[in-house]
Homo-oligomer: A and B are copies of this chain.
Amino acid sequence: MIDSGILIILSGPSGSGKDTVLGALMQRRSDVRVSISMTTREPRGQELDGVHYYFVSRSYFEKKIAEDRMLEYAEYAGNFYGTPKDPVDEMLRAGNAVFLEIEVQGAEKIRQRYPDVISIFLLPPSMAALEARLRGRNSEDEETLQHRLVIAREEIRRAAEYDYIVMNDTVENAVDRIETIINAEKQKTCRNKTMISEVINNV
């Protein structure tokens, strides 16, 4: 009944729980996919090609840009990072809810290219909770952590640019809220043009 899939941006500051929430959402629903980013940087630690990133050469990435096969991309510290278009299109054609886990700047670029995209901002319940989560990772020095909190505050200020705000007080609640959004969006008229004509035409 649904005309095609739904493209959904998920943004949120570092430590807001994007990976955990998307992991739990995929466990619950078979129609959810998460886009895998492409990068020219080297794999680190346990990172696997095609799981954490598509690890590609600089010339390959530049070719994809030239062919207009990137939904969005940016360069950080001498490496390209971006979202390849073809796998996303294929998952959408199959009727999935396809999530792009991207930053505020990338979200802006996608919105300009795909006005139909839905955007969700994952909000921590408080700055104190965010700080506790970042400290819980135990992987950074104090200076890096304080820098992340400054960035987080700036990102949260831009939450107003998103269609929906999802509070991540618990993973269960956040997943419920995102499911509600997917289910409501599936009832949007723009995704059900065929349903209208079916009712009119099939007597």
Which A residues contact B (CB, under 8 angstroms)?
121, 123-128, 153, 156-157, 159-167, 177, 180-181, 183-185, 187-189, 192-193, 195-196, 199-200, 202-203
Q: Which residue of the partner chain, among B126, B167, B180, B185, contacts A203 with CB atoms under 8 Å? A: B126
| Min CB–CB distance A104 → chain B (angstroms) | 13
Query: Closest CB-CB distance, A62 to chain B, in whole Å?
Result: 36
Q: Looking at the complex, which one of B126, B162, B163, B196 makes contact with A202 (CB distance below 8 Å)?
A: B126
Q: In the complex, what's the smallest C-beta–C-beta distance from A162 to chain B, in angstroms? A: 5
Given A165-B189, A180-B184, output 4 extra A-B contacts at Cβ < 8 Å: A121-B189, A127-B200, A153-B200, A164-B184
Q: Which residues does chain B contribute within 8 Å of A125, judged by CB atoms?
A: 199
From B159, B162, B199, contact of A156 by CB (8 A): B199
**Of B126, B159, B183, B199, which one neighbours A196 at CB under 8 angstroms?**
B159
Q: Which of B124, B163, B164, B189 has a CB less than 8 Å from the CB of A159?
A: B189
